[in-house]
């Protein structure tokens, strides 16, 4: 911490770390934003903890510095966003990576166009294949997963069906529209993508059959393939939507993934508001709203489980037959992160019970160690690996200043001298981590720090 810092040759060292900026030099940055650079200057000038200032400077602009490729194509903004060390654009990750910049776009027209470009690019991808989760910029590029037993299409990196892959683009579109009142990205192609999203959601309710989607992969990892001829384990139709994969890109056990169904309700309502206001399409708006209502009712009936310790909680997955998977995963949407996505009120008593469950040893993927405590998941194939995303989710959804400070302190300990967040780290040794370049974790960490700076600045100076 700062109290252990030394000043040597005009360089500040915290815990033996040289706090020199790790951003690429200006000429090597993929994109620069005046508004984000000004926020970094403001944060560093007013936060006494120099290590936090250093982390904010490194992490918050990481998406812009290293992962965005912005152009003007056919007169319209076009932005391709990689995750970091994987040269592919996930619909989920690309939204999450630029979402923290939305509050700055009214001050920075360049940044606003960049995000409009992300929306335009996502529309292209949804129309290409609504069941795919990740795509290439070059539609002729051949995927390393081309041998997957599914309907692989040109330009698709991976074809794992995840509800949230279609929710996140709506979230970004709605946030951009509300911030700017700009209707330009929401023309005929966007309108078609919303109709396709509705159709896909309805097909995956599986009311009369299993639908068109199936997926299998030759692999030693059971979470990377799907049982029952690639359709997943059976479900009883309830009105909920099947998600064959989780936001972690791991296969579900029971296909009704509860956090993603909550997210779908929010997204459907947002899309309904937009298509009615922008296109005057009352019929599509009614279809979107009707499905949202149907899922809401199904969640009330099937998502809640009466736990012997915590009372009524939300299950992570269900199948409609009465079976429940009680756990939480670090990736968003998660049960813990539901208020962050405006899917559940933070004061909701069932959510609060679920929160206590998720942050307890009753959650099989909650780990406590010498460095930190937090939620992991099966994705990295190891136990005892905490994801910074879970600690950030906890901080972003907390109303307790002590808990927020606790999350900040754990995240400081997690970077292991690298100056960046990671996919996961060992609960006892932060030097054991996965993915040194994972832009989503970096940028949302910056979002968490910026939120804390604006709402509880005293916590960053304690």
pTM of structure:
0.96
| Per-residue pLDDT, 16 | 67
What are 149's strand-pairing partners?
216
Which SS3 state, helix, strand or coil, does residue 376 take?
coil
The tens-digit pLDDT sequence of the chain (462 residues) is 222 333 323 333 355 688 999 999 999 999 999 999 999 999 999 999 999 999 999 999 999 999 999 999 999 999 999 999 999 999 999 999 999 999 999 999 999 999 999 999 999 999 999 999 999 999 999 999 999 999 999 999 999 999 999 999 999 999 999 999 999 999 999 999 999 999 999 999 999 999 999 999 999 999 999 999 999 999 999 999 999 999 999 999 999 999 999 999 999 999 999 999 999 999 999 999 999 999 999 999 999 999 999 999 999 999 999 999 999 999 999 999 999 999 999 999 999 999 999 999 999 999 999 999 999 999 998 889 999 999 999 999 999 999 999 999 999 999 999 999 999 999 999 999 999 999 999 999 999 999 999 999 999 987
Distance CA 139, CA 155 (A): 4
Instruction: Taking the CA atoms of 119, 123, 126 and 132 in sequence, report the sign of the dihedral they define.
Output: negative
- CA-based nearest residue to 439, from 396, 398, 388, 395: 388
Q: Are strands 134-135 and 89-90 parallel, antiparallel or unpaired?
A: antiparallel
70 within 8 A of 77, measured Cβ to Cβ? yes
- CA-based nearest residue to 266, from 128, 166, 142, 153: 166
For 315, phi and psi rounded to 5 degrees? -75, 160
| Per-residue pLDDT, 18 | 87
Q: For residue 104, give the DSSP letter.
A: G
The neighbour count for residue 302, using CB atoms within 10 Å, is: 22
Beta-strand runs (E) in 235-339: 256-257, 304-307, 311-314, 317-318, 324-325
Which SS3 state, helix, strand or coil, does residue 149 take?
strand
- CA-based nearest residue to 374, from 462, 323, 441: 441
| Per-residue pLDDT, 321 | 98
| Per-residue pLDDT, 15 | 56
- Angle (CA) 193-199-203 rounded to 5° is 145
| Per-residue pLDDT, 9 | 31
The token duo for 252 is: 């579900």
Report the greatest alpha carbon distance in the chain. 72
Sheet holding 256-257, edge to edge: 256-257, 317-318, 324-325
The CA–CA distances, whole Å, from 324 to 176, 238, 303, 314, 336 equal 36, 14, 8, 9, 17
For the chain, how far is it from start to end, CA to CA, in angstroms? 11
């Amino acid at each position: 911490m700062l109290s252990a810092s030394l000043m040597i040759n005009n360089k500040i060292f915290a815990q033996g770390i040289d706090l020199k900026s790790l951003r690429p030099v200006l000429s090597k940055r993929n994109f620069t934003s005046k508004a984000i650079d000004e926020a970094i200057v403001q944060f560093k000038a007013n936060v006494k903890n120099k290590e936090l200032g250093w982390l904010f400077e490194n992490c918050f602009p990481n998406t812009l510095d290293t992962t965005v490729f912005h152009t003007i194509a056919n007169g319209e903004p076009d932005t391709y966003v990689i995750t970091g060390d994987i040269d592919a654009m996930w619909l989920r990750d690309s939204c999450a990576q630029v979402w923290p910049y939305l509050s700055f776009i009214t001050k920075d027209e360049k940044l606003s166009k960049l995000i409009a470009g992300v929306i335009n690019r996502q529309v292209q991808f949804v129309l290409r294949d609504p069941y795919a989760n990740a795509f290439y910029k070059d539609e002729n590029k051949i995927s390393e997963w081309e041998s997957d037993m599914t309907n692989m299409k040109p330009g698709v990196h991976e074809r794992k069906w995840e509800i949230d892959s279609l929710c996140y683009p709506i979230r970004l579109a709605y946030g951009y529209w509300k911030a700017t009142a700009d209707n330009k990205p929401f023309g005929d192609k966007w309108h078609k993508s919303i109709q396709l999203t509705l159709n896909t959601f309805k097909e995956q309710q599986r009311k009369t059959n299993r639908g068109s989607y199936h997926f299998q992969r030759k692999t030693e990892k059971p979470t990377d393939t799907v049982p029952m001829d690639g359709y997943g384990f059976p479900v009883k139709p309830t009105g909920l939507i099947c998600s064959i994969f989780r936001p972690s890109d791991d296969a579900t056990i029971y296909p009704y993934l509860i956090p993603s169904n909550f997210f779908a309700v929010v997204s459907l309502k947002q899309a309904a508001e937009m298509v009615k206001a922008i296109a005057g399409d009352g019929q599509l708006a009614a279809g979107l709203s009707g499905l949202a209502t149907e899922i809401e009712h199904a969640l009330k009936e099937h998502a809640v489980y009466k736990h012997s310790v915590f009372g009524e909680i939300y299950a992570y997955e269900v199948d409609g037959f009465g079976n429940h998977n009680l756990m939480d995963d670090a990736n968003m949407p998660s049960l813990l992160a539901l208020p962050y996505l405006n899917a559940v009120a933070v004061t909701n008593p069932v959510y609060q019970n679920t929160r206590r469950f998720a942050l307890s040893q009753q959650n099989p993927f909650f780990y406590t160690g010498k460095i930190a405590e937090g939620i992991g998941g099966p994705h990295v194939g190891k136990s005892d690996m905490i994801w910074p995303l879970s600690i950030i989710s906890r901080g972003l959804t907390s109303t307790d200043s002590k808990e927020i400070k606790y999350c900040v302190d754990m995240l400081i300990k997690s970077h292991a001298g690298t100056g960046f967040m990671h996919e996961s780290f060992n609960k006892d040794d932060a030097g054991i981590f996965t993915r040194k370049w994972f832009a989503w974790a970096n940028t949302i960490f910056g979002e968490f720090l910026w939120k804390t700076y604006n709402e509880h600045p005293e916590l960053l100076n304690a």
